[in-house]
C-alpha cells in the first residue's frame, strides 16, 4: 500500500497516475480534521476517511455511495466510499468538496456529506447534454474566464467564477461583479433570469458584459468542447476548474454532442448597471407597482443595443479591449 502526502488537491493527471496503480493508495490531505483519500483501482473504488467525532454516520440512500464507521489500528474513522465505475474524476470531486467543507469551513461531517451529496445529485441529474441556450451561456462565461485568468492569475480567475451557484453573479472581483450575457442574435438582446440577477452587491458596482456570437466554420471558430480544452490547458487542468465546470453542467461524456463552432459577432461591450440601466429588480417593483410583495419572480429580455457602453474596471477592461 502506497502512502503519500500530496498538495491539497490532485490534478486530473495526478489522479490518473494513482488510478493506474495496481495496488491501493492512501493519501493524507493537509488540514484538520485528518482526512485521507483512498484510491483502490482494483475495486474501482475511491474513498474518504476522516476522524470519527462520536456521532452516528448519516444515512445515505444511494446505490454506489456507501458510508460506514470503520476501525483501523485501534482508531475509529468515518469512511465514505464510492464505486466510481467510469466516473473516477467526478467521484474525486465529491470527496474534495466534503474535505473542503470539513477542513476549511469547519462544518460537521454529517453536514459536509449532506451538502456535497446534494450538489453531486444535482450534477448527476443533468444526464442529458446542455441545452443550446446553456451551451451559449457557458461558452461566453468561459471566454470571459480565460480573459480574466490571462489578466490576473489562474487562482484568482477560477475563484472569481460564481455563476453556477444559486443567487450569485457570474464573476465577483474586488473591483466589482460581472454578469456575463451571451447571445447569437444580431441585436444585443439578453435574457435576465429573476429579480435578483441585476441587483448590485452592497458597495460593489455591477456590470453586464454583452457577448455576441455567430455560427462559424471549424476553421474560423471554436466549439464549446474546444473552449473547455483551452481553459483546461491554460490552468494545467486545475481541480477547482474541473469542479466549477461540473457545477456549470459540463460532462466529458457529452463533448461529442457539442459540434457547432462559434466566433465573436462583434466586440464585447460592458454596461454599468446603475439607475439608468433597464433592470427589473425588487427595488424597482417596490417603487413602481402596487402590492410589490405579491411579485414572486420574473424573467425578461432586454435589448441594450442602443445603450452607450462604458469601460469596465479590471480585469474586464482587458477582455473588452482585446475582444
Convert the pLDDT of each residue in 290-308 to its tens digit: 988 888 888 899 999 999 9
Identify whether residues 307 and 167 lie together within a single domain: yes
Identify whether residues 87 and 26 lie together within a single domain: yes
Identify whether residues 186 and 64 lie together within a single domain: no
Identify whether residues 198 and 51 lie together within a single domain: no
pLDDT tier at 95 (50, 70, 90 boundaries)?
A: very high
Q: Are strands 2-4 and 25-29 parallel, antiparallel or unpaired?
A: parallel
The rounded mean pLDDT for the chain is 90
Q: Map residue 117 onto helix, strand or coil.
A: helix
Tell me the average pLDDT across 81-105.
Answer: 90
Q: Domain range for residue 63?
A: 2-125
Identify whether residues 24 and 114 lie together within a single domain: yes
Where is the domain boundary, 125, 157, 191? Answer: 125
Identify whether residues 96 and 192 lie together within a single domain: no
Instruction: Flag whether the pTM goes above 0.75.
Output: no
Identify whether residues 121 and 141 lie together within a single domain: no
How far is CA 79 from each of CA 116, 136, 207, 237, 277, rounded to the nearest angstrom? 15, 40, 45, 28, 52
Report how far residue 29's alpha carbon sits from residue 197's, in angstroms, rounded to the nearest whole number.
37
Where is the domain boundary, 125, 148, 182? Answer: 125
Positive/negative CA dihedral, 269, 271, 276, 277: positive
pLDDT at 297: 84
CA 303 to chain centre: 28
Q: Are strands 206-216 and 176-183 parallel, antiparallel or unpaired?
A: parallel
Q: Over 60: is that where the pLDDT of 2 sits?
A: no
Report how far residue 226's alpha carbon sits from residue 228's, in angstroms, rounded to the nearest whole number.
5
Identify whether residues 148 and 240 lie together within a single domain: yes
Identify whether residues 151 and 228 lie together within a single domain: yes
Positive/negative CA dihedral, 267, 273, 274, 275: positive
Positive/negative CA dihedral, 39, 43, 47, 53: negative
Summarize pLDDT for 41-90 with one digit per residue, the tens. Answer: 988 999 999 999 888 888 877 778 889 999 998 899 999 999 888 788 88
Q: Give me the number of domains the chain comprises.
A: 2
Identify whether residues 6 and 89 lie together within a single domain: yes
pLDDT at 124: 55
Q: Over 70: is that where the pLDDT of 125 sits?
A: no
Identify whether residues 139 and 94 lie together within a single domain: no
Identify whether residues 44 and 150 lie together within a single domain: no
Where is the domain boundary, 66, 93, 125? Answer: 125
Nine-digit cell string for 81: 466510499
Amino acid at each position: 500500500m502506497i502512502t503519500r502526502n500530496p498538495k491539497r488537491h490532485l490534478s486530473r493527471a495526478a489522479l490518473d497516475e494513482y488510478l493506474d496503480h495496481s495496488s491501493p493508495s492512501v493519501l493524507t490531505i493537509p488540514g484538520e480534521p485528518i482526512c485521507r483519500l483512498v484510491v483502490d483501482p482494483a475495486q474501482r473504488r475511491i474513498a474518504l476517511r476522516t476522524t470519527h467525532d462520536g456521532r452516528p454516520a448519516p444515512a445515505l440512500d444511494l446505490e454506489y455511495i456507501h458510508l460506514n464507521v470503520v476501525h483501523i489500528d485501534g482508531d475509529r474513522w468515518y469512511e465514505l466510499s464510492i464505486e466510481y465505475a467510469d466516473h473516477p474524476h467526478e467521484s474525486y470531486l465529491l470527496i474534495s468538496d466534503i474535505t473542503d467543507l470539513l477542513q476549511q469551513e469547519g462544518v460537521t461531517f454529517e453536514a459536509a456529506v449532506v451538502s456535497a451529496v446534494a450538489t453531486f445529485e444535482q450534477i448527476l441529474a443533468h444526464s442529458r447534454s446542455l441545452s443550446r441556450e446553456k451551451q451559449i451561456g457557458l461558452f461566453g462565461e468561459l471566454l470571459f474566464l480565460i480573459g480574466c485568468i490571462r489578466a490576473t492569475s489562474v487562482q484568482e480567475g477560477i475563484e472569481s467564477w460564481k455563476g453556477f451557484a444559486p443567487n450569485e453573479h457570474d464573476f465577483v472581483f474586488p473591483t466589482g461583479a460581472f454578469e456575463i450575457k451571451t447571445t447569437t442574435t444580431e441585436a444585443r438582446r439578453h435574457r435576465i433570469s429573476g429579480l435578483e440577477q441585476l441587483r448590485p452587491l452592497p458597495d460593489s458596482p455591477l456590470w453586464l458584459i454583452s457577448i455576441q456570437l455567430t455560427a462559424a466554420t471549424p476553421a474560423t471558430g471554436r466549439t464549446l468542447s474546444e473552449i473547455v480544452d483551452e481553459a483546461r490547458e491554460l490552468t494545467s487542468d486545475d481541480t477547482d476548474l474541473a469542479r466549477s465546470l461540473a457545477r456549470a453542467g459540463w460532462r466529458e461524456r457529452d463533448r461529442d454532442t457539442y459540434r457547432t463552432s462559434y466566433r465573436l459577432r462583434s466586440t464585447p461591450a460592458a454596461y454599468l448597471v446603475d439607475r439608468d440601466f433597464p433592470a427589473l429588480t425588487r427595488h424597482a417593483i417596490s417603487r413602481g407597482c402596487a402590492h410589490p410583495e405579491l411579485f414572486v419572480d420574473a424573467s425578461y429580455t432586454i435589448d441594450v443595443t442602443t445603450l452607450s457602453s462604458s469601460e469596465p474596471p479590471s480585469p474586464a477592461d482587458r477582455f473588452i479591449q482585446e475582444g
